[in-house]
Structure 1
Amino acid sequence: METLVKERQDLFLALYRMVLGLLFACHGAATLFGVPGGPQGGAPPAFAEWPGWYAAVIELVAGGLVLLGVATRVAAVICSGTMAYAYFVVHQPQALFPIENGGEKAALFCWGFLLIAVLGPGRWALSTLRTRQEESLAR
């Protein structure tokens, strides 16, 4: 089993990165446009309303960048910071633990994106594919 995991480590990292980015982008799309599944937690925020509208734009754009593997580390740090802000400003004042304050998603997204920022996008990312194509053309 360990050999299989080591051989497929890049694939597992890519799948993790893509799923995390997709879920985050979907959350932003739901908040901004009501799709898929409608706005989370009520009506969509008004244009340029702090922090709801800005957070939703970050979720959609940065989540999409992580999904595709473009500017992944920077986008992942922004996503992680956004969720840390959401946790400590919105959820944590209500109660200490995420299970009590409803901040499980924010905490999981925060740590998940921090992991992607540390590990990078992996081999199966658009930025990595572009780099490989440029290297092969240079030869």
Structure 2
Amino acid sequence: MSDLVTTARAATDAARPHLVALYRAVTGLLFACHGAASLFGVLGGAHGGGTVPIGSWPGWYAAVIQLVCGALVLLGIGTRTAALVASGSMAYAYFSVHQQNALFPLQNGGEPAVLFCWAFLLIAAVGPGSFAVGRRFAR
């Protein structure tokens, strides 16, 4: 049985950089889609089909952060910095918009903000994994 555990652990360790890259890419893509929806009205638009007014605080700035940081994380360019900015923006969104309505994310509609905040904090901590475009520039 220990040989099976050792083999499984070795396979998991070998796959880790690829799984991190997949996690990074999916999280970045979803975040960028939120920004694109808010800025350009695509994919259903912002909160009911529209766009956020240019320069409006904090909606327009949040959408720009979502689009830019999401795209950078998706591609693996400046991943740690972009993920940290994205995480901070979601923490701000949670505490300034959602938290005032109720204590728990389930009650105040802040679940996506909390999930994105922690997902991006993890990406900032572990790095981009494999297949990051930023690694091509570093060489």
TM-score for both structures, normalised by structure 1: 0.90
Cα RMSD (Å): 1.2
Taking every aligned residue pair, what percent have the same amino acid on both sides? 58
State the partner residue of 1:63. Answer: 70
Please, which runs of 5 or more residues in structure 1 have no aligned partner? 135-139
Question: How far apart, in 1, do the equivalents of 2:88 and 2:49 lie?
Answer: 23
Q: What is the identity, as a one-letter code, of the residue corresponding to 1:10?
A: P
What's the offset of the Cα at 1:32? 0.7
For structure 2, the 5+ residue unaligned runs are: 1-7
Are 1:19 and 2:26 an aligned pair? yes
Distance 1:81 1:41 in 2: 25
8 A Cα contact 2:36 2:63, kept in partner: yes
SS of the residue corresponding to residue 49 of structure 1 reads coil
Distance in 2 of aligned mates of 1:79 and 1:104 = 15
Q: Which amino acid is the alignment partner of residue 81 of structure 2?
A: V
Summarize the alignment of residues 1-139 of structure 1 with structure 2, pairs less than 5 Å apart.
1-41=8-48, 43-131=50-138, 134=139
Structure 1 stretches of 4+ with a deviation exceeding 6 A read none
How many residue pairs end up in the alignment?
Answer: 132
Q: TM-score, normalised by structure 2?
A: 0.90
Q: CA deviation at 1:81?
A: 0.4
CA gap of 1:43–1:35, structure 2 versus 1, over 3 A, is closer
Give distance in 1, aligned partners of 2:69 and 2:107.
Answer: 28
For residue 22 of structure 1, report the CA deviation from its aligned partner.
Answer: 0.1
CA distance in structure 2 between the partners assigned to 1:71 and 1:115 by the alignment: 15
